[in-house]
């Protein structure tokens, strides 16, 4: 059953070849067998999942089921889920039981999806390897000595290892696309504001965006259809109609204009990764697309800009975690100041502390203009580069990551090297654009991801472009050894 995509699973459920309860039990058995080594899940919600599966079976029997009814999925542990621990991969929230569902969780539940549990992640979504989690690193299903990417590494690993049919993720600087690339799955970051952020614990509020992680573009389209839409509870949500993402998947690509940014194919990109990306581009040309070189001249500045803006916002967002109202509290504080200092020092890991300190520094009175204000000005220039590019091309393509998955521990003590793992993905978050990663030809048995970037609210075009390649190739169907 786990070998089937969502469309096939939905057909089987409607045909009553097996029940959602049977399907859910099957995935729970795989989680029990494979997760102790992979560490992809923080929380497994077996009883609630089986109860939800029973309700899905009733809907299927009554003929009121939708395309996701009875489909077992997982949520990144950054989404509040009523009655379940929502930890954000941090000791700070290890004991936090969410009193409500995030909008994304609510909408997928309304669509009939069954939640198997909550997936591991870099602490408060700060990381590119899933090594900053309080619960330990996630292992890449393709090679257990390597990272799965981050911060949505648990979701990516769970989907790649077939521990769930699909999963949710969040993307602040590449945290859906980079782990999707390193684990060989499909992941899409929608336009900023397309999916509600309500109930999604904030890292950097002007950058964070929820999105689906799945085996294929067709599966991702089904999830995004349920997740997207205006939410009056979220002030950053955009009130614009959500198209039928599945309707245009098969659209012909003849005449599609693809732009290749010269800045994405220079120094720093592994030669064999570049060759794999080039092979996928040639396949698009065979499908009728036209390819041209473009320039995004300010994109090399995206990493330094991001690491001013994102820490500044996290410094503000994480100020609420003080050990008073909820979250980790130190033992026997001597006074209020001691309570604050020790609770935060014990509750937050080194990477989160580093970013809070950087953010507080760049927002301070003496440095705001020199760092934060300047970064916001360059952010505007980066967005303008994309706007000019989209007057010439329909989509932009390039690598999702400069290399394949690197060994666990290889970059743990070198923050700058770790930050450069997201060098090709950060600019789309700064501009608020949609982007996705799909698997292309592997290198030495390790997945490689092709990044596709679109204009604002053109998720449907991205899904169509990705789906057409996946109709012609088999890279997205590959299963890691030991997970079949």
The C-alpha atoms of residue 360 and residue 367 are separated, in whole angstroms, by: 10
The C-alpha atoms of residue 186 and residue 176 are separated, in whole angstroms, by: 9
Does the annotation mark 76 as catalytic?
yes
Decide: residue 192, CB within 10 A, 0-12 exposed, 13-18 middle, 19+ buried: buried
The catalytically annotated residue of 87, 129, 151, 216 is: 151
Rg (CA), the chain: 21
Backbone angles phi, psi at 388, to 5 degrees: -65, -40
- CA geometry: angle at 476 spanning 52 and 150, to 5°? 70
Tokens at 68, concatenated: 């996701």
Does the annotation mark 400 as catalytic?
no
Question: CB neighbours of 64 closer than 8 A, spacing ≥ 6?
Answer: none
Does a cis peptide bond (omega within 30 degrees of 0) precede residue 208?
no
The C-alpha atoms of residue 120 and residue 147 are separated, in whole angstroms, by: 13
H or E element in which residue 225 lies: helix 217-227
H or E element in which residue 213 lies: strand 209-214
Give just the sign of the alpha carbon dihedral 432, 434, 156, 23. positive
- For residue 213, the cross-strand partners are 167, 187
The catalytically annotated residue of 175, 196, 302, 437 is: 175
Does the annotation mark 175 as catalytic?
yes
Q: What is the DSSP string of 77-107?
A: TTB--TTSB--TTSGGGTT-B-SS--HHHHH
The C-alpha atoms of residue 81 and residue 85 are separated, in whole angstroms, by: 7
Strand order in the sheet with 41-44: 41-44, 114-119, 72-76, 166-171, 209-214, 186-189, 435-443, 446-453, 395-399, 257-261, 290-294
Q: Alpha carbon of 479 to those of 68, 109, 372: distances in Å? A: 23, 28, 44
Largest CA distance in the chain: 70
CB 6 within 8 A of CB 166: yes
The catalytically annotated residue of 76, 118, 189, 411 is: 76
Q: Among residues 9, 68, 436, 397, which one has the least CA distance to residue 217?
A: 436
b or e along 317-337 (b: 16 or more beta carbons within 10 Å of the residue's beta carbon)?
Answer: bbeebbbeeebbbbeeeeeee
By annotation, the residues acting in catalysis are 76, 151, 175
């Amino acid at each position: 059953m786990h070998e089937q995509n969502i469309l096939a699973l939905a057909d089987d459920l409607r045909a009553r070849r097996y029940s959602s309860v049977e399907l859910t039990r099957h995935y729970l058995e795989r989680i029990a067998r494979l997760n102790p080594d992979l560490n992809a899940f923080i929380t497994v919600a077996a009883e609630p999942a089986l109860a939800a599966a029973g309700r899905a079976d009733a809907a299927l029997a009554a003929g009121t089921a939708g395309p996701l009814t009875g489909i077992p999925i997982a949520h990144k542990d950054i989404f509040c889920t009523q009655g379940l621990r929502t930890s954000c991969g941090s000791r700070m929230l290890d004991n936090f039981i969410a009193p409500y569902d995030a909008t994304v969780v609510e909408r997928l539940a309304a669509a009939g999806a069954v939640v198997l549990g909550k997936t591991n992640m870099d602490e408060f979504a700060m990381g590119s390897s899933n090594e900053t989690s309080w619960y330990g690193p996630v292992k890449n299903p393709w090679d257990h000595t390597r990272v799965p990417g981050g911060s949505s590494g648990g979701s990516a690993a769970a989907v790649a290892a077939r521990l769930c049919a699909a999963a949710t993720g969040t993307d602040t600087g590449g945290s859906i696309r980079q782990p999707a690339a390193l684990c060989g799955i499909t992941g899409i970051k929608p336009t900023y504001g397309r999916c509600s952020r309500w109930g999604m614990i904030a890292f950097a509020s002007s950058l964070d965006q929820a999105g689906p992680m799945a085996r294929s573009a067709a599966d991702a389209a089904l999830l995004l259809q349920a997740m997207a839409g205006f939410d009056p509870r979220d002030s950053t949500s955009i009130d614009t109609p959500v198209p039928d993402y599945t309707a245009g998947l098969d659209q012909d690509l003849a005449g599609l204009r693809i732009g290749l940014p010269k800045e994405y194919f220079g120094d720093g990109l592994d030669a064999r990764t570049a060759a794999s990306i080039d092979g996928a581009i040639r396949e698009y040309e065979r499908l009728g697309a036209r390819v041209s070189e473009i320039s995004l001249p300010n994109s090399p500045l995206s990493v330094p800009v991001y690491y001013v803006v994102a820490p500044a916002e996290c410094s503000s967002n994480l100020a609420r975690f003080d050990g008073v109202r909820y979250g980790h509290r130190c033992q026997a504080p001597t006074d209020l100041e001691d309570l604050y200092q020790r609770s935060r020092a014990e509750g937050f890991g080194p990477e989160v502390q580093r970013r809070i300190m950087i953010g507080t520094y760049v927002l301070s009175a003496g440095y705001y203009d020199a760092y934060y204000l300047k970064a916001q000005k360059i952010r505007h220039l980066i967005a303008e580069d994309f706007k000019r590019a989209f007057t010439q091309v329909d989509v932009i393509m390039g690598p999702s990551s400069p290399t394949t998955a690197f060994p666990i521990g290889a970059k743990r003590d070198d923050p700058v090297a770790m930050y450069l793992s997201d060098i090709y993905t950060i600019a789309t978050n700064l501009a608020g654009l949609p982007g996705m990663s799909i698997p292309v030809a592997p290198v030495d048995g390790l997945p490689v991801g092709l990044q596709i970037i679109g204009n604002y609210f053109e998720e449907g075009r991205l899904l169509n472009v990705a789906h057409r390649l996946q109709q012609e190739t088999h890279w997205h169907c590959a299963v890691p050894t030991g997970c079949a």
